[in-house]
Structure 1
Amino acid sequence: MKPTNLAFLTTSALFSMCFSTSSFADVNYHIDINQPIHHLAQVSVSFPQSQSSELVVNLPVWRTGRYQVLPVADGVRLFNATDSKGHALPWRRTASGEWTVSLTKPTAVKVTYQLHANELGDRLRHIDESHAYLDASGVFMYSPEFRQEPISVEMSVPKGWNSFSGMDKGPKPHSFTAANYDVLVDSPIETGINQHFNFKADGREYEVVFWGEGNYDTEQILTDLRKISGQASMIWDDYPFERYVYMVHATSGASGATEHLNSTVIQLPRFQFRERDDYLRFISTASHEFIHTWNVKSYRPQGLVPYDYQSENMSELLWVAEGSTSYFQNQLLLRAGVITPKEFFDDLSLRIGLNEHNPGRDTQSIAEASLGQWSSTWGDYALNHSVNIYSEGYLTSMVLDFNIIDDSELAYSYRDVHKALYQHFKIPMGYKVQDIQNILTKLTGKDYQPWWQEFVNQPFSIEFDTLLAQAGLMTTYGDKPKSQVDTGIGLSGLHGDLVLATVAKNSPAWKAGLTAGDELVALNGLKVTAEGLSKRFNDFEPGDTVTLTVFSNDRLKELSMVLGEQPKGKLAITALKQVTDKQKAFFKAWLGIDWPFNDKGEWLSTDNKA
């Protein structure tokens, strides 16, 4: 058994008194992918003998890495339960993800059911003629009574398929073993027609599995993943795994990624790998998920330890789990030489620009956003009254990092906070707000409760130029910045659709009385189209008043709108005109690379020197 599973078995033993009253015995899973063209499979689960009068069987209502309740059990049909002699056992549905089997005497129980798997974009389960991606939270039921028992998984798959997982390989082809259900649920399986590669980095074994045709360059991806995988020492002093599996999906449209115990899955549309912007999106996602192997999978907030698969796992620290991971992802790429300093700051300037145009930052704190993640949605209300644990969590992490560097006189950074969390709060422990504040005080000698109140527990705005000046940087729209019209209108993005999807709070459209759902018909009495709307507005100057004709709740009306003003072009980050040695030293303490500008404020080169 690999060290990963041994370590998890040791920690999970601490939970066994809470979850199991039965003797130590295997739970055996079998999945027969018998109708892949119709996304169907047959699943069976064999549980050891139970001494209880009822055996509760669950399918999780959410999956790790996505903090939202999902209709997972809707893919289950033809549920059946039998005893050790094959006799049918009575059962009843007791919750959305729960079945209760009645037992008249101690017996082993076998549960079978049909599974429909066509949720590729949710990274939950997907079966077709070319592959199956199986996240256990959407595929394999468990019983709380046997949650801590050893697991075996066997699969019947079409001829020519190859199977991979972060789990240990079993004794048969297409089989795997795990220490318990918690390992299984965090070790997805990719089986099918795929490409498979191996490499080593910093004494660890890595596998890369590609499914789907696309315009990706396997050689470049392998090279960069090798560089990323050797950069963990940027933050932590050891690894929680001996073997790691990157799974890459080139899809017909699905995109996203999910971290797991010692593996990750990354999805992009099949022809969105080659262009540099597309590739940066892919490789930064890979970095993000790799960092999660420590931050979330090795240590995580108290509310998420142990996982409760049947309900929300509440925590005000999800911004640390996700936003801080986003904050570190490009730093790791920068140190590894995968991206240039300019590319790093292009990404940061984009994040700053989005934050400055986010009305929700005046309404919601990042702690409240963490607690509300389980019920978060996207739309007009979210834009105007919410912040995001990823994007605003990134910027909160950055502000905290700058404070630590300054307060410790360049001796420590936010990386040291995460190193300490990994050293002292490994699962099955879970860290609390006070634990982070204690670490901050130990590193800097200062009380961080006031900082926490200002930047975490209440809405805040950041003076980015003041912040960046500590590292010799500033934001700019160019030497001769120009302005353009601002309306605050956001369309749905659908071709030809002039229905307003969002109206930014306190924007010209908001003040004019427009709201999401209104349909724009004419501007100054002339018909408008979705394709030509921005050009029409650019025919005017900031401060001009225009007349809009709209349908609002099917009623035609006219509104006057005074056009606002916003900078034209993209925000950029560059060097201050005069930069001191102290600012350059701060920059190095922050990012770990030398000052990347010459005396004229121009980028020195595209090479990184960590």
Structure 2
Amino acid sequence: MTMPSSLRAAILPALFATAFATSAHAAPLPTPLDQPYPGTIQMKIDASDTARNIFRIRQSIPVKPGRMTLLFPQWVTAQHGPTGMLHQMAGLKMSADGKPVAWKRDPLNVFAFQIDVPRGVKTLDVEYQHLSPTEAGQGRIAMTPDILGIQWQSMTMYPAGYRTRRIPIQTTLTLPAGWQYGTALETAARQGDEVQFKTTDLETFIDSPLFAGRYYKQIDLDPGAKIPVRLNIVADTQEALDAKPEQIEPHREMVKQAYKLFDSQHYAHYDFLFALSDEFGGVGREHHQSSENGVKANYFTEWNKTEATRTLLPHEFTHSWNGKFRRPKGQDVPDFNTPLDNNLLWVYEGQTQYWGQVLSSRSGLIKKESVRDMIANMAATYANVQGRSWRTVVDTTNDPIISQRRPQVWPNWQRSEDYYSEGALVWLDVDTKLRELSGEKRSLDDFARVFFGVDNGQIVAKHYTFDDVVKALNGLQAFDWAPFLKKRIEETGPAPLDGLARAGWKLVYTDKQTDFLKGVEDVSKTANFQYSLGFSVGSDGKIAAIVWDGIGFKAGLSGNTTILAVNGRAYKPELLRSAITAATKDSKPIDLLVKHGNDYRTVSLDYHEGLKYPRLERIEGTPDRLEAILQPRK
């Protein structure tokens, strides 16, 4: 029924006024105090319901009578944005001394819950469920019949008004029958399937996730060391855990190479949480004394096919130094509901991306030639990202807040978190510049030691600013580092490929893929024509990754488009490759029959320059600094 305009005019202003008045009087959150919280939160989680993917949570929180606010974590540091899984919480009930206590959600801050604690009450009991996705369309799968992963921030409420590092919490976890687990948390006791963890502060607790599984194996990556580093593996099957000695050895070498690079340890122990699964959701997330890592089940069993995934563990391990121990000043927040300033993510993530690739080569996890191919692919990608004409690298550090990794319509034009890989190219630029200016006496390795290796043994985060980064570089080699960095980070224009040339290599395109990039394409079941026709094609013939203003774009191609035929024959990747090659010998266009939504049409591509695939080629007469960078440290 439509409301008459006269009635609408009379009623709506009153409704708006009421809503505004309610919002205007919403209680502000108390300022987080840097003092101990009076008491310890007791938390119990039942994670045994793998049939329905339900986590059941109970908390007992010491309180005082009067108004208080409970917070559900909103800002997830390792995700760099306000991505707290509040929408997966349900069944919230509060009580005290066996009697219900009412709660009210803050109308301006839906992550905050207001409670009037009755007189005489010392403990508030809170009960709710975390409803983990049961299918991929609902979010990342974190529980399967054989594996579960717990990110505590998705299951924890805490009192406002205190720094999280000053709030003690003690947790007891019920696992599925017989399952084993890995976590950086210290275990106090285990009785049957109930695990009791030692009391810790809330910041450390939430930064210490847990993986558990029916099939579990722990591998010591630094045998005999005083500070252990462990690989905690969970998998879909027992067979997937079968890692051969020659596969474990480069993982151990990766730890050794990291120590030679950073010359320090900033953890009491380090636990890789590693899921090998075709069902459990893929993940790569850093924590101070651990990391969450999820890859396909064939990581060990089909070793020759998984090379491209092996930068994951070196990347996340590097974060223990860069991102967790040394953190940008904008990440120095008192709790999990204070916004993050991501301005320096090109250091936090960009340099970590760089070291992840370097350590992969130095450890032997990835062949040196394959890392060169990775760099070639990064260089080609950013040489063809049209969004560089209007958007800077530093502006993409806002993407975790703006887009939160939701799918984009035109990513080549919009850009998306380019501070990772383009940031890595910037740090290659810095590394080679240091080597050039110092006559090969200084490098980014030296920066890693003096910047991340400071205060060896300290675990509490040490924060930094842009000026601190510049000061450390100048301490190694005097130069105008501030404008050097700002030009690459804060200006639009060509991709930062100076470091590649200074390393003794240049980006070229040939009509044949490198073996490594062909392997990546085979595993992903895609066909990459971005540097020729300006798009990639999925296994189902669907067009993806379209280059803005590229050949395909100008011909009117867009998303939701499937290639059905090439020059009158049913589409196959090899058929399109052959058509592109044939078009170099005549002036005939390449005709594609495409389906866009419910419409069918033929698109003619007037392209005659042949297949183009990126690779690196040596610049004759120049020092091969890339070879020096990728060599293992003795």
Is 1:529 the equivalent of 2:554? no
Is 1:541 the equivalent of 2:571? no
SS for the counterpart of 2:350 is: helix
Q: Kindly state the Cα deviation for residue 367 of structure 1 after the two structures are TM-superposed.
A: 0.6
SS for the counterpart of 2:142 is: strand
> Once the two structures are superposed, what CA deviation does each residue of 1:208-242 show, in whole Å capped at 9, x if it has no partner?
22211254542444322221112233332310113
> Once the two structures are superposed, what CA deviation does each residue of 1:414-443 show, in whole Å capped at 9, x if it has no partner?
233343433389855432222212222232
Contact 1:303 1:315 in 2 (8 A): yes
Match of 2:187 in 1: 169
Measure, in 1, the Cα distance between the counterparts of 2:94 and 2:432.
Answer: 58
Unaligned runs of 5+ in 1: 1-15, 594-607
Match of 2:98 in 1: 86
Q: Kindly state the Cα deviation for residue 509 of structure 1 after the two structures are TM-superposed.
A: 2.2
Quote the sequence identity (%).
Answer: 18
Distance 1:400 1:50, change over 3 A: farther
SS for the counterpart of 2:307 is: helix
Is 1:74 the equivalent of 2:74? no
Q: How does 1:221-300 map to 2 (within 5 A)?
A: 221-253=247-279, 254-276=281-303, 278-300=305-327
Q: Kindly state the Cα deviation for residue 189 of structure 1 after the two structures are TM-superposed.
A: 1.6
Measure, in 2, the Cα distance between the counterparts of 1:369 and 1:241.
Answer: 31
> Once the two structures are superposed, what CA deviation does each residue of 1:458-506 show, in whole Å capped at 9, x if it has no partner?
1243474x64454444445579999x99221344x262x54x4443122
SS for the counterpart of 1:184 is: helix
SS for the counterpart of 1:456 is: helix
Contact 2:168 2:201 in 1 (8 A): yes
Q: Kindly state the Cα deviation for residue 324 of structure 1 after the two structures are TM-superposed.
A: 1.0
Q: Kindly state the Cα deviation for residue 312 of structure 1 after the two structures are TM-superposed.
A: 4.4
> Once the two structures are superposed, what CA deviation does each residue of 1:97-132 show, in whole Å capped at 9, x if it has no partner?
332222133522111112222379899773344343
Distance 1:27 1:406, change over 3 A: same
Q: How does 1:171-186 map to 2 (within 5 A)?
A: 171-173=189-191, 174-186=195-207
Is 1:100 the equivalent of 2:114? yes
SS for the counterpart of 2:486 is: helix
Match of 1:109 in 2: 124
Distance 1:546 1:470, change over 3 A: closer
SS for the counterpart of 2:229 is: strand
Measure, in 1, the Cα distance between the counterparts of 2:140 and 2:558.
Answer: 36
Contact 2:387 2:414 in 1 (8 A): yes
Letter in 1 for 2:286: E
Distance 1:278 1:139, change over 3 A: farther
Letter in 2 for 1:452: L
> Which of 431, 444, 464 pairs up with 1:414?
444
Measure, in 1, the Cα distance between the counterparts of 2:557 and 2:407.
Answer: 19
> Which of 27, 32, 38 pairs up with 1:18?
32
Measure, in 2, the Cα distance between the counterparts of 1:79 and 1:321.
Answer: 36
Q: Kindly state the Cα deviation for residue 528 of structure 1 after the two structures are TM-superposed.
A: 5.2
Is 1:41 the equivalent of 2:23? no
Distance 1:57 1:578, change over 3 A: same
Match of 2:368 in 1: 341
Match of 1:206 in 2: 229
Measure, in 1, the Cα distance between the counterparts of 2:143 and 2:545.
Answer: 36
Match of 2:133 in 1: 118
> Once the two structures are superposed, what CA deviation does each residue of 1:511-549 show, in whole Å capped at 9, x if it has no partner?
33433345656666x475365544444442386445666
Measure, in 2, the Cα distance between the counterparts of 1:570 and 1:373.
Answer: 29
SS for the counterpart of 1:38 is: coil
Using structure 2 for the length normalisation, give the TM-score. 0.79
Measure, in 2, the Cα distance between the counterparts of 1:256 and 1:294.
Answer: 20
SS for the counterpart of 1:300 is: strand
CA RMSD of aligned residues (A): 3.5
Q: How does 1:100-499 map to 2 (within 5 A)?
A: 100-105=114-119, 107-118=122-133, 126-145=142-161, 147=164, 148-173=166-191, 174-193=195-214, 194-200=216-222, 203-212=226-235, 213=237, 215=240, 217-220=242-245, 221-253=247-279, 254-276=281-303, 278-306=305-333, 308-310=335-337, 312-376=339-403, 377-386=406-415, 388-422=418-452, 423=454, 428-462=461-495, 464=497, 467-476=499-508, 486-491=532-537, 493=538, 495=540, 497-498=541-542
Measure, in 1, the Cα distance between the counterparts of 2:612 and 2:358.
Answer: 29
Letter in 2 for 1:435: D
Q: Kindly state the Cα deviation for residue 346 of structure 1 after the two structures are TM-superposed.
A: 2.7
Measure, in 2, the Cα distance between the counterparts of 1:183 and 1:117.
Answer: 23
Q: Kindly state the Cα deviation for residue 338 of structure 1 after the two structures are TM-superposed.
A: 3.8
Distance 1:123 1:207, change over 3 A: farther
Unaligned runs of 5+ in 2: 1-29, 515-528
Q: Kindly state the Cα deviation for residue 50 of structure 1 after the two structures are TM-superposed.
A: 2.9
Q: Kindly state the Cα deviation for residue 299 of structure 1 after the two structures are TM-superposed.
A: 1.1
Is 1:507 the equivalent of 2:550? yes
Measure, in 1, the Cα distance between the counterparts of 2:412 and 2:220.
Answer: 43
SS for the counterpart of 1:350 is: helix
Match of 1:563 in 2: 607
Is 1:591 the equivalent of 2:606? no
After TM superposition, the structure 1 stretch with the greater mean CA deviation from structure 2, 164-173 or 540-549, is 540-549
Measure, in 1, the Cα distance between the counterparts of 2:428 and 2:44.
Answer: 46
Distance 1:119 1:65, change over 3 A: farther
After TM superposition, the structure 1 stretch with the greater mean CA deviation from structure 2, 559-568 or 26-35, is 559-568
Letter in 2 for 1:412: R
Distance 1:565 1:152, change over 3 A: same
Distance 1:245 1:384, change over 3 A: same
Measure, in 2, the Cα distance between the counterparts of 1:522 and 1:304.
Answer: 51
